[in-house]
């Protein structure tokens, strides 16, 4: 009996020694999200996976997952708290010192059997525009007898981008309606006599120079040429995030500017008008220093701009005067400009005047105040400007 007790104690000591030395070894953690580009308040699923690759069970695991600050997980409020963590940030190819970030931690406890794969899914949402980071988790694992605690970090870097919120403002729709109306009218005024896209029957209202004598002889009746538009009418949306360089604007105003641009893009998409974005904003998490896009149209182009707007931060890569000078260099007849800015500055007057001269069209200026004006206030302002 004593021999059996001694053997039992030796085995127990060996098991305890092994669990202390290798408690959280070969434990793997990963997190995935059902979507990477979201609407504000849109629900998505977070899939957490914990794998035990050992032939040995882990009797107790306490896990704290580092979720982004501002996340809302229904039903898990009692298990959530805020914690300051250190993150090693890499800019371009050079390592920078660790940065202190505040994250929301979701705590849970469980055990792992040998070769077990544990998966957990929770539903969450984000109420505001922005870029949100999932930064892995911290695990505490108890030994076999529960005497000593092992600790291990599982760093990850996964992101979710939330687009600007949709806004409904009659004043905005009225302002855009006038611009879109001008574009639609000009689309049928300018014609290029060098680009023939088809032929139609002569009605007597077309000029004699438009008659195609070759087609008329072939078909036995008078035919006239149909021409393409002279210029590719399009819109450049100019976003400013810093009226004074290195002086941050109010974050809420920048959010409202991004929402204004979303409404502009939606209207241009509905009217099949090509557009592009040009800005002095720095898109967080991208290698590019500016949130510029090429001219385009369609859902892929639209969501590309929505992602950039979701990444827009309060930092600026250049003064807005320089952004306007870049816009002047790429300006042309038939290109309209819409300026969206949290505040206005007199230092841009020269560049705005030059831009208007180059395109022969007035630059439409929008500020967040547009979303808070009543119909009467906007009507009075338009009457005074007229």
Of the pLDDT bands very low, low, confident and very high (cuts 50, 70, 90), residue 60 is confident
263 within some domain: yes
pLDDT at 322 exceeding the cut of 90: yes
Contacts of 156 (CB under 8 A, 6+ apart): 29, 30, 31, 134, 135, 136, 137
| Mean pLDDT for the chain overall | 82
Contact call for residues 355 and 328 (beta carbons, < 8 A): yes
Mean pLDDT over 55-80 rounds to 88
Residue 220 and residue 136 share a domain:
no
Tokens of 77: 């409020």
Residue 128 and residue 259 share a domain:
no
Rounded Cα distance, 292 and 267, in Å: 20
Q: Name the least confident of 46-55, 168-177, 265-274.
A: 168-177
- What is the predicted pLDDT for the residue at 206? 73
- What is the predicted pLDDT for the residue at 383? 43
Residue 320 and residue 203 share a domain:
no
Rounded Cα distance, 229 and 290, in Å: 32
**CATH number, position 46:** 2.60.40.10
Of the pLDDT bands very low, low, confident and very high (cuts 50, 70, 90), residue 172 is confident
Tell me which residue of 334, 318, 314 sits closest to 326, measured CA to CA: 318
Better pLDDT: 377 or 12: 12
Mean pLDDT over 75-88 rounds to 76
Mean pLDDT over 348-352 rounds to 89
For the entire predicted model, the pTM comes to 0.78
pLDDT at 386 exceeding the cut of 70: no
Better pLDDT: 36 or 81: 36
Q: Name the least confident of 97-101, 124-128, 342-346.
A: 97-101
Give the SS3 label for residue 119: strand
**CATH number, position 327:** 3.40.50
Of the pLDDT bands very low, low, confident and very high (cuts 50, 70, 90), residue 147 is low
pLDDT at 167 exceeding the cut of 80: yes
Helices (H), the chain: 2-22, 170-186, 213-219, 251-270, 299-311, 320-329, 349-359, 375-385
Per-residue model confidence as pLDDT tens digits over 351-372? 998 898 888 778 999 999 988 8
Residue 176 and residue 132 share a domain:
no
Which residue is it, tokens 């099949």?
A: 272
13 within some domain: no
Better pLDDT: 10 or 98: 10
Better pLDDT: 379 or 285: 285
Rounded Cα distance, 346 and 217, in Å: 63
Mean pLDDT over 324-337 rounds to 87
Beta-bridge partners for 229: 191
327 within some domain: yes
61 within some domain: yes
Residue 372 and residue 291 share a domain:
yes
Residue 221 and residue 350 share a domain:
no
- What is the predicted pLDDT for the residue at 327? 93
Mean pLDDT over 282-294 rounds to 89
Of the pLDDT bands very low, low, confident and very high (cuts 50, 70, 90), residue 92 is very low
17 within some domain: no
How many residues comprise the chain?
386
10 within some domain: no
Residue 361 and residue 255 share a domain:
yes
- What is the predicted pLDDT for the residue at 342? 95
pLDDT at 219 exceeding the cut of 80: yes
Residue 250 and residue 146 share a domain:
no
Rounded Cα distance, 191 and 225, in Å: 11
289 within some domain: yes
359 within some domain: yes
Rounded Cα distance, 226 and 92, in Å: 52
Residue 155 and residue 104 share a domain:
yes
Indicate the number of domains in the chain.
3
Of the pLDDT bands very low, low, confident and very high (cuts 50, 70, 90), residue 377 is low
Residue 180 and residue 319 share a domain:
yes
Mean pLDDT over 38-48 rounds to 97
Residue 148 and residue 76 share a domain:
yes
Q: How far is CA 229 from CA 75, 191, 325, in A?
A: 58, 4, 28
Other beta carbons within 10 angstroms of residue 249's beta carbon come to 19
Mean pLDDT over 259-288 rounds to 92
Tell me which residue of 169, 167, 346 sits closest to 255, measured CA to CA: 167
- What is the predicted pLDDT for the residue at 21? 62
Rounded Cα distance, 143 and 61, in Å: 10
Question: E strands within the chain?
Answer: 27-33, 37-38, 44-52, 58-67, 80-91, 94-112, 117-124, 130-134, 137-142, 149-154, 158-162, 191-201, 223-229, 234-239, 274-279, 281-283, 312-316, 335-340, 364-366
- What is the predicted pLDDT for the residue at 91? 38
251-270 and 299-311 helices cross at what angle (nearest 10)? 180
Could you list the residue range(s) of the whole structural domain that residue 50 is in?
26-89+99-162
Of the pLDDT bands very low, low, confident and very high (cuts 50, 70, 90), residue 222 is confident
Residue 202 and residue 183 share a domain:
no
């Amino acid at each position: 009996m004593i021999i059996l007790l001694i053997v039992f104690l030796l085995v127990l000591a060996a098991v305890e020694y092994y669990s202390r030395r290798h408690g959280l070894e070969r434990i793997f953690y990963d997190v995935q999200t059902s979507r990477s580009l979201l609407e504000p308040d849109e629900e998505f699923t977070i899939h957490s996976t914990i794998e035990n690759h050992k032939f040995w069970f882990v009797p107790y695991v306490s896990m704290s997952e580092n979720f982004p600050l501002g996340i809302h997980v229904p039903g898990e409020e009692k298990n959530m708290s805020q914690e300051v963590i250190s993150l090693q940030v890499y800019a371009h190819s050079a390592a920078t010192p660790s940065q202190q970030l505040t994250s929301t931690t979701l705590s849970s406890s469980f055990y792992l059997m040998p070769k077990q794969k544990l998966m957990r899914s929770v539903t969450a949402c984000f109420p505001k525009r922005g870029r949100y980071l999932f930064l892995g988790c911290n695990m505490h694992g108890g030994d076999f007898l529960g005497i000593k605690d092992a600790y291990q970090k599982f760093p990850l870097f996964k992101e979710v981008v939330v687009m600007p919120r949709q806004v409904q403002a009659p004043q905005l729709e009225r302002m855009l309606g006038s611009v879109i109306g001008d574009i639609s009218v000009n689309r049928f005024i300018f014609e290029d006599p060098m680009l023939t896209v088809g032929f139609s029957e002569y009605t007597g209202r077309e000029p004699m120079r438009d008659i195609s004598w070759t087609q008329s002889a072939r078909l036995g009746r008078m035919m006239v040429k149909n021409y393409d538009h002279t210029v590719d009418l399009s819109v450049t949306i100019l976003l400013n995030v810093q009226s004074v360089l290195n002086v941050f604007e109010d974050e809420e105003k920048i959010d409202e500017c991004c929402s204004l641009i979303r409404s502009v893009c939606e209207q241009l998409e509905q009217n099949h008008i090509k557009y592009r974005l040009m800005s002095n904003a720095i898109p967080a998490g991208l290698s590019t220093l500016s949130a510029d896009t090429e001219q385009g149209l369609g859902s892929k182009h639209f969501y590309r701009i929505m992602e950039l707007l979701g990444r827009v931060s309060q930092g600026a890569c250049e003064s807005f005067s320089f952004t306007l000078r870049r816009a002047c260099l790429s300006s042309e007849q038939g290109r309209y400009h819409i300026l969206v800015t949290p505040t206005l500055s007199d230092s841009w007057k020269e560049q705005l005047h030059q831009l208007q001269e180059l395109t022969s069209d007035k630059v439409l200026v929008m500020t967040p105040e547009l979303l808070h004006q009543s119909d009467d206030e906007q009507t009075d302002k338009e009457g005074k400007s007229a």
